[in-house]
A and B are shown apart, each in its own frame.
Chain A
Amino acid sequence: MTSAMRAPRPLLPLRLENVVFTVGGRLVIDQVSLTLESGSRTVIVGPNGAGKSVLLRLCHGLLQPTSGTIAWNAPELRGEPRRQAMVFQRPVLLRRSALDNIAYALSLAGASAGEREARSREALRKVGLEPLATRPARVLSGGEQQRVALARAWALNPEVLFLDEPTANLDPGATHEIERVVGAMHAAGTKIVMVTHNLGQARRLADEILFLHQGRLLERASPDRFFKQPASVEAAQFVEGELPW
């Protein structure tokens, strides 16, 4: 089941036109124009302070652009359940069980009380955490907490999932598990837009790479081309500096 079946009209594509975002006079996002289509996994990379997380928050509606427009094909209406979700670098879970954390998100999305538990359980099963369903969420390990956050997003069947460096604080095992879940969500029809610092991860997950540098979108390319022949000097230096080989 894809979310497009539930929604009257799909959210995507998302169009950004000349988006500028400033904080206290400092230019964080500088004239970004771009269209995000459904289907592909878009990975945003760039050096620290390039504005990657801010761009993600602008797309998700957590920040408003200083100028320029951000328009969904069919925007969510006020009071309607959200059709997009976001997973943050540090998962924010409530002081209740893993299961109830997901049920809470479902109740905000308007799910009936009767279906919440089953849907929450199903989401936990998909991330491999069903045995921990009744455990208080905030005492789980970092990797488990991030998987609960992903399960919470998945339970909502979002059309688009934004991820802001979801594995930055995790060990390789937990990172692998998160990547598996993200891949599975994508396979189930969710558009993935992810910021990462980990170029290995970008290679493994990306269908396309967006390269951000000092708030400007300098490159948009397939991972193959981006890593082998970056078009800009900045991207070439970034790839060289960040890759371990």
Chain B
Amino acid sequence: MSSIAQAAAQALQLVAGADPKLTHIVLLSLRVSLTAVALSCVIGLPFGAAIAVSRFPGRRSVVVVLNALMGLPPVVVGLLVYLLLSRAGPLGAWGLLFTPTAMVIAQTILITPIVAALSRQVVEDAWDEYREQLRSLGERRFGAAITLLWDLRFSLVTIVLAGFGRAAAEVGAVIIVGGNIDGVTRVMTTAIALETSKGDLPLALGLGMILLTIVLVLNAAAYVVKETAQRRYG
């Protein structure tokens, strides 16, 4: 019990003193996950919206597969990206394995389906309500998809956050393709996993606190933005 209390006290010191090693890990985590979220939105939001407003043969299967991909196991994604990027792999020449870029790629693959599947659902519900009016005004399908994405921007914030939460919290993919190299590819989750197994509880706990705080603050901020916007825009 006392060792845990001690570890917690030391963790607080690390956090309060902005320990350089800890700061580096936190900043790298944010850089990797935020980049992955940004890329996932660029790909996933238009893709989800396009599916929402289109009708084509096999559409149901696409929706089912997309929904299923939300549950992609991170280690499997890590393994696939590892095989792609390893020296002998098809993209081995790029020399990306064990770099932050490889981690961004893995996380983007992991969360793009989440962003696409959830936005498909939200946009499709709205499309039911807006379809006749937009068609009456002469809007084309893909124009409508863009119009709907903008009109639903406050609901989409929650989806983007779900993606970020998943990216920031996962350890399986980044540890395989990043390698958890100290000072290069070590992020919060991989550091926690390593330090815990090494017995360095203060660093693990400190990082855990920061990770929780970041997720909590972001969600609170998004909640406030959404509430305010909904009151203002209806």
Contacts and interface: CB of A to CB of B under 8 A. Distances in A.
Interface of A: 57, 60, 62, 81-82, 85-86, 88, 92, 94-96, 104-105, 108-109, 136-139, 152
B19 interface: no
What is the interface of chain A mostly: helix, strand, loop, or mixed?
mixed
Contacts of B21: none
Interface residues of B, number: 19
19 contacts: A60-B136, A62-B136, A82-B137, A85-B136, A85-B137, A86-B132, A92-B129, A95-B151, A95-B152, A95-B153, A95-B154, A95-B234, A105-B137, A109-B138, A136-B232, A136-B234, A139-B232, A139-B233, A139-B234
A138 B138 contact: no
Contacts of B135: 62
B228 to A, nearest CB: 12
Interface in B127-142: 129-130, 132-139
Given A94-B151, A136-B234, A108 B139 contact: yes
B213 interface: no
B6 interface: no
B147 interface: yes
Contacts of A57: 132
B31 to A, nearest CB: 32
A92 B130 contact: yes
- Which of B134, B135, B137, B139 neighbours the largest number of chain A CB atoms within 10 Å of its CB? B137
Interface of B: 129-130, 132-139, 143, 147, 151-154, 232-234
A139 B229 CA distance: 11
A116 to B, nearest CB: 14
A104 B130 CA distance: 14
A182 to B, nearest CB: 17
Nearest to A57: B132
B233 A136 contact: yes
B147 A88 contact: no
A94 B138 contact: no
B136 A86 contact: yes
Please list the 10 inter-chain residue pairs (A to B) with the smallest Cβ-Cβ separation, ordered nearest first. Answer: A138-B234, A92-B133, A95-B233, A139-B234, A82-B138, A136-B233, A86-B136, A95-B151, A94-B151, A105-B137
B101 to A, nearest CB: 37
B233 A138 contact: yes
Contacts of A88: 132-133
A96 B229 CA distance: 11
Contacts of B130: 92
Nearest to B148: A94
Nearest to B154: A95
Contacts of A104: 137, 147
B114 to A, nearest CB: 24
Contacts of A105: 137
Contacts of B136: 60, 62, 82, 85-86
Nearest to A139: B234
B156 to A, nearest CB: 12
Nearest to B136: A86
Contacts of B143: 108
Contacts of B233: 95-96, 136, 138-139
A108 B140 CA distance: 9
